Amino acid sequence: MYILTLLAKRLVISAFLLLAVSALIFAGTEVLPGDVAQSILGQSATPEALANLRRDMGLNEPALARYFSWLGGIAQGDLGTALTNGSDIADAIGKRLYNTVFLASVAAVVAVPLAIGLGLLAVRFKNLWPDKLISGTTLALISLPEFFIGYLMIYFVAVKLGWFPSVATVYESMTFTERLSAVALPAATLTFVVLAHMMRMTRATILNVMQSAYIETAELKGLSAFRVIAKHALPNAIAPIVNVVMLNLAYLVVGVVVVEVIFVYPGMGQYLVDHVSKRDVPVVQACGLIFAAFYIGLNMVADIVAIVANPRIRHPR
């Protein structure tokens, strides 16, 4: 019963947090400079034409009324209509959200096991050259912004070597292998961005566990170093590792905006940037809310996994 109460509290907190974020997103887009009506009609539009278009778009309604109307539509699965072309936002986002999740999933499938494996290897050879090489390389990667890594990948891998396309074009009729080839460079860029953080956290957490008495007992029994680390240290360090993995998975979904723009990838990030330039507020609000929902949801999953993995939380005295 206690664990169910904790899980219910996490769900309620996440719901209220998402509600608060929705209010911040709406308020933030309200104060953005520019006017979509002016963007559509151009600089030569008359005041009467601008007023009529704003009335047709509902922009002359009070902000609070528009917020609750927007929130009510979201509760019913209606994300609204794009002001610039009149298309349904939910339909437009559906395909792009799939593309973004696919890209993030490919990066996660590579980055998570690679980060944990490198972390275990660094612990096994602590303070020796493999540990220093892994730590130094990942520290250099974490110091580089994703747009710089992306341009390096385009120049060396796409232009010089010609292994993969520099523009990540995907479409429905592509096979799975063709889609993987198309997203190889943006997925590699995202992998390099999140790899360092997860590896360093894995290394630090396992080294902290390695100081425990039961680890010394396992070593005195004559178990190999890899067996001690993998069978005894890693399971007891899994909760903080899962937390940092979930945070980086959330970044993979939310932080793809720059990478998608660099590789012209038709995902949520590219869709958001295109409509920010057009001052299409409903699209910006919908994209922001979806990104926030992913981030909050994955953090909630991390909390739940930490609760389930930690017996001291599951069985309090």
Going by the DSSP 8-state scheme, the letter that residue 232 receives in this structure is I
Where exactly are the structural domains of the chain? 89-277
Distance CA(115)–CA(121), nearest Å, equals 10
Radius of gyration of the chain (CA): 24
Distance CA(87)–CA(70), nearest Å, equals 16
pLDDT of 215 reads: 67
Total Cβ atoms within 10 A of residue 115: 26
Distance CA(138)–CA(166), nearest Å, equals 24
Any bridge partners for residue 88, and if so which? 81
Distance CA(219)–CA(287), nearest Å, equals 52
Going residue by residue through the chain, which has 317 residues, state the pLDDT in tens, using 9 for 90 and above.
Answer: 666 777 788 888 888 888 888 888 887 777 666 565 655 655 666 666 666 666 666 666 666 777 787 788 787 777 777 777 777 788 888 878 888 888 888 888 888 888 888 887 887 777 788 778 887 887 787 778 878 888 888 888 888 888 888 877 777 777 888 888 888 888 888 888 888 878 887 787 777 777 766 666 766 676 666 777 766 666 666 777 777 777 777 777 777 778 888 888 888 888 887 777 777 777 888 888 888 888 888 888 877 777 776 655 555 55
pLDDT of 115 reads: 85
pLDDT of 39 reads: 59
One-letter amino acid at 274 equals: D
pLDDT of 203 reads: 80
Count of positions (residues) in the chain: 317
Structure tokens belonging to residue 33: 């400079």
Total Cβ atoms within 10 A of residue 163: 11
Q: What are phi and psi of 81, to 5 degrees?
A: -125, 135
Cα separations (Å) of 182 from 42, 111, 263, 310?
37, 18, 10, 40
Q: 89-277: which CATH number, 1.10.3720.10, 2.40.10.120, 3.20.20.70, 3.40.630.30?
A: 1.10.3720.10
Task: Decide: pTM greater than 0.85.
Answer: no
